[in-house]
Every structure is written in C-alpha cells, then in structure tokens.
Structure 1
C-alpha cells in the first residue's frame, strides 16, 4: 500500500528564520521522522519571481541558503525529496491551464494575498504573477497528488483555493484524477505567527525582521 504524499516548500527570497521553523519547518521534520509519508519539499523559485522579477540574483543566491537551512533543521535528503520548482517545467504549464478555472475576483478576495499585497506596498502596481501565485501553488500540490500540505496558519486560504481548483477541474472534465489536499497546521496558533523583531504581525524575510538561523547559531555558540 502506497504512503500518503506530503508536499510543501518555501520561496527562496532570503534565508529562513525562526518564524518559518515554528510555522512549518518543525512540523515537516516531525512528519519526516514518522516515516508514514512520501515527502516532497521544494524551493519555489518561480513563485519568488512574482515580486522579485527585477532582483533575480536574490533568488539565485537564496536557493543554496534555503537548502542549507533545510538541512540545518533536520530535513534528510535520504528520506525527503528536495527539488527546485523551475526544474519541472510541467508545473508552469499546469498553472496556465488552472488559470482558466479561477476568476480574477476570487483571487482578489484571497485573504493571504490581500495581506501580502498591503505589506509589500504594491499600490496599483501589483504584478500579475503575484496575484495569481495561489494558482501556481495549486499546480505544485496537485501535480504531486499531495494528500497533505504542512504550512503556517496564514496559508489556510491558499489550501482552500487549491481545493476549489481541484473540485472545479474534476467537475469540468468529469474525472477524479486530482486529489483534494488537506493542510497540516501548527498546533500552537500563536507560534504559527511569530511576531517580528520590529513589532509587525509576523516575521518576514522581505521585512528583514526575523531571527535567522545563522543568528541563532551564533547566540548558541556564545552561550
């Protein structure tokens, strides 16, 4: 009997921090160690381009850093498949097909997207790719037929968006080939949104208000 499939990942736009650890990385390691799942963890470099298209060097440099962060928290490449999103072109192709199943109004109502747009200060200059990146996430999840997706609590609207796309696709094409995923969320909801050092609602790579793993290591060594 095949194992349930887990897929999760991060946008490589900078080094990961403690907010990522309590929000999802800790869960990933625990799930890996249970040995009950087939697990895929990926670096979403194409999604990172949606708000860093003119800063591609940041993404290029961050891929190795995020991969090292994965190893540092205990993800084991012997037990987990770690991959780079752009190395699988079929994911972008599937995203294009899914775009025809989601309205612009639905994307604009996504609470996570609305919050991130406000945080990034796009104003009227929202990159189209950024607005539709929940569809890209749905393509990643469904391409691997993931049953579960470990994420932070702020990603619940993204999981629901994926579930809607699955239902829409299966209904439109009279099939059941797409799997409707479930989110796996931190048990401690407060920890899932660890406050930033500047008092913002949550730590963020883009805001530079996190406690990064290297900083944590330095503090530990000093002790």
Structure 2
C-alpha cells in the first residue's frame, strides 16, 4: 500500500517550545513511520515578520533543526529541509503570486491578522 504524504513545518522565529511539541511536533514524530514526511524550516517566511534582524536567521534555522532532532524526528524517516535551499519553491511562489489579487489576500485570515498586527 502506498504511503500518504505530509508537508508541514515551522518558521524559525525562535526556539521551539512546549506549545510546538504538544501542538504538532509530537504528532510528526508519531506519524513519520506511517507517512512520507516532508518538514520545512520556512526561513523565507520568517522574514515576513522578523525582517528587522535577518542576520539572526542562520542561527535560528540551526536551532529549529536541532530541536527537530531532539524531539525524535528522524532524518532517515522524514525529509527535513530549509525553504531557501530549494530554488523551485521561489520559482513557484513567483509564478503563483501572479494569480492572486489583492482582494483575495484581504480575505485570507492569516493575512488579515498580520496586516492588523503590523498596522497595514
């Protein structure tokens, strides 16, 4: 039987904590045996809200990777990757962004929250 796939991840905005573990990391560890798991460290996305100190990003990426290993994510079972290292993600992002209007973005709950948070 073919395994299902999971794509999930985190923005490296600081150390992962108990909330991350209870909210998703524990499940990722449990599911990595039964699913083909792809776990993204979304460093490019982290720049959308942590743009003041981009020099801190490499250390934050390493910290998240170490946290993943510490909770039991196994690189032999799960593909862990850094968003900025996959050029095709940037290419697809540019391509798909050409299809999204400002009006569609205004109705996206995540965009609404972040726009309000940053005063837009």
Same fold (TM over 0.5): yes
Unaligned runs of 5+ residues in structure 2 are none
Aligned counterparts of 1:13 and 1:59: Cα–Cα separation in 2? 8
TM-score by length of 2: 0.90
Aligned counterpart, 1:74: 72
Aligned counterpart, 2:88: 90
Aligned-pair Cα RMSD in Å: 1.5
| Structure showing the higher strand proportion among its residues | 2
2:119 counterpart of 1:123: yes
Per-residue CA deviation, residues 95-153 of structure 1 (Å, 9 max, x unaligned), is 111112222111121112322333xx3113xxxxxxxxxxxxxxxxxxxxxxxxxxxxx
- After TM superposition, where is structure 1 displaced by more than 4 Å over at least 4 residues in a row? none
Aligned counterpart, 1:55: 53
Unaligned runs of 5+ residues in structure 1 are 125-223
Per-residue CA deviation, residues 52-83 of structure 1 (Å, 9 max, x unaligned), is 23311221110111111111111111111111
TM-score by length of 1: 0.50
Aligned counterparts of 1:75 and 1:44: Cα–Cα separation in 2? 17
Aligned counterparts of 2:66 and 2:111: Cα–Cα separation in 1? 28
- Paired residue total: 120
Per-residue CA deviation, residues 138-175 of structure 1 (Å, 9 max, x unaligned), is xxxxxxxxxxxxxxxxxxxxxxxxxxxxxxxxxxxxxx
